Amino acid sequence: MKSILSQLLGGAWKSSPQPINLRDNANLDVVLPWALAKAAPPPRFPTAYVEFLRSCLESQSFPITTVKRNRKGGDTESAKRFASLLGALANLPPLEFAWAETLAQIADAYLGNPSPMGSSGWAGDVRAHFEMTSSFGHKGRILASIIRFMRCRHCLELGTAYGMSALFMLEALSVQGPDTRLTTVEGSELQYRIAAGLLESRYRDRVVCEYGWTSQVLPRLAKTLGPVDFIFHDAGHSKKDYVNDFQAVLPLLAPGAVVLFDDINWNDPRFAANNPECRKGWLEVAAHVRVRWAVEIRRDMGLVLLN
């Protein structure tokens, strides 16, 4: 029989997850009313506020599916860190409570924004669009875990939206040291203006907000930005966007860099007149010669490690 230690290290210890989850959930049910009671100012949308906190703190695991793996060079530092990251995603680390509380307050303010917002196939307001397009606790914890385990120093985000995913990344980068930074790109003028105002006021010279579509901005960044450790792709959702953007950022990507593609199976008729074939684009990226290891997280995110 394996020792308890060896079972833990090998990821094979299966006897206690359910009791631990039950205990964690019970603890969380104590924390959340306390957090709501002490919130200042009181949230305008307390139910959404508590749900946001829950998504940042609750026990959560994501299935990981390997799409490609080149075992040659598996003893490199980046490969070992990537393996540790995948293990962490199977039992997703919670955020620090202070982060979660701050981000929940920002999300609560967005939910009170009635400014009109729309596209060619959809019309609503900032609140509705924010709820549909922004990264909340579970995704934010994935972003923070990538930065933590891969020891990222310089990150690039394609698709700022309202800045929530950037907030998760910047908080995680702050733990890595004062010389870390994020560059984020957004093509919607309204979202860029809102997000840039928020991010630059909070993080000043640690964040650079770029306005424009990736096809316009990336050729310039590829010449000026310097090595990047992590790219979060949440910009145009189509086969063409995934492949073209990946090709454009390849010169920026340092050895051992990682790229996370969001919504790899996306096909929303409200925002896409034809099938955007996101999955085909993701699989083409995963097959690239520079991709050493490619996995899918919960079938809606694709993560690659570069050689």
Pair 121, 209 in one domain: no
Q: How many structural domains comprise the chain?
A: 2
Q: Which one of 133, 156, 191 terminates a domain?
A: 133
Distance CA 159, CA 296 (A): 20
Q: Please give the average per-residue pLDDT across 91-110, as a whole number.
A: 95
Top pLDDT among 226 and 32 is at 32
Do the Cβ atoms of 129 and 57 come closer than 8 Å?
A: no
Quickly tell me which residue has 């090595």 as its tokens. 227
Q: Which residues 6+ apart lie within 8 Å of 242 measured at CB?
A: 233, 261, 278, 281, 282, 284, 285
Pair 147, 290 in one domain: yes
Pair 215, 291 in one domain: yes
**% of the chain exceeding 70 in pLDDT:** 93
Q: Which one of 107, 133, 159 terminates a domain?
A: 133
Let me know if residue 2 belongs to a domain: no
pLDDT for res 8: 26
Let me know if residue 14 belongs to a domain: no
Question: 3-state DSSP call for residue 265?
Answer: coil
Query: pLDDT band for position 127 (50/70/90)?
Result: very high
Pair 193, 72 in one domain: yes
Pair 123, 190 in one domain: no
Q: Which one of 133, 161, 190 terminates a domain?
A: 133
DSSP annotation of 135 reads: -
Pair 172, 292 in one domain: yes
pLDDT for res 20: 53
C-beta neighbour count of 222 within 10 angstroms: 15
**What percent of the chain is helix, strand and coil (3-state, nearest 5)?**
50, 20, 30
Print the domain residue range for 109.
Answer: 19-59+94-133
Indicate which CATH number applies to the domain containing 203: 3.40.50.150
Let me know if residue 147 belongs to a domain: yes
Let me know if residue 290 belongs to a domain: yes
Backbone phi and psi for residue 299, each to the nearest 5 degrees, phi listed first: 65, 5
Pair 108, 180 in one domain: no
> For residue 240, is pLDDT > 80?
yes
Let me know if residue 12 belongs to a domain: no
Query: pLDDT band for position 121 (50/70/90)?
Result: confident
Pair 114, 251 in one domain: no
Top pLDDT among 226 and 218 is at 218
Pair 101, 142 in one domain: no
What would the pLDDT profile of 5-14 be if each residue is shown by its tens digit? 233 233 332 3
Pair 81, 120 in one domain: no
Let me know if residue 7 belongs to a domain: no
Do the Cβ atoms of 238 and 252 come closer than 8 Å?
A: no
Let me know if residue 6 belongs to a domain: no
Nearest Cα to Cα of residue 175 among 93, 76, 104 = 93
Let me know if residue 270 belongs to a domain: yes
Pair 49, 185 in one domain: no
Angle separating helix axes 189-203 and 164-176, nearest 10 degrees: 30
Pair 145, 124 in one domain: no
What would the pLDDT profile of 260-301 be if each residue is shown by its tens digit? 999 999 888 877 778 899 999 999 999 999 999 999 998 899
Quickly tell me which residue has 């026990």 as its tokens. 59
What would the pLDDT profile of 157-191 be if each residue is shown by its tens digit? 999 999 999 999 999 999 999 899 999 999 999 99
Question: 3-state DSSP call for residue 129?
Answer: helix
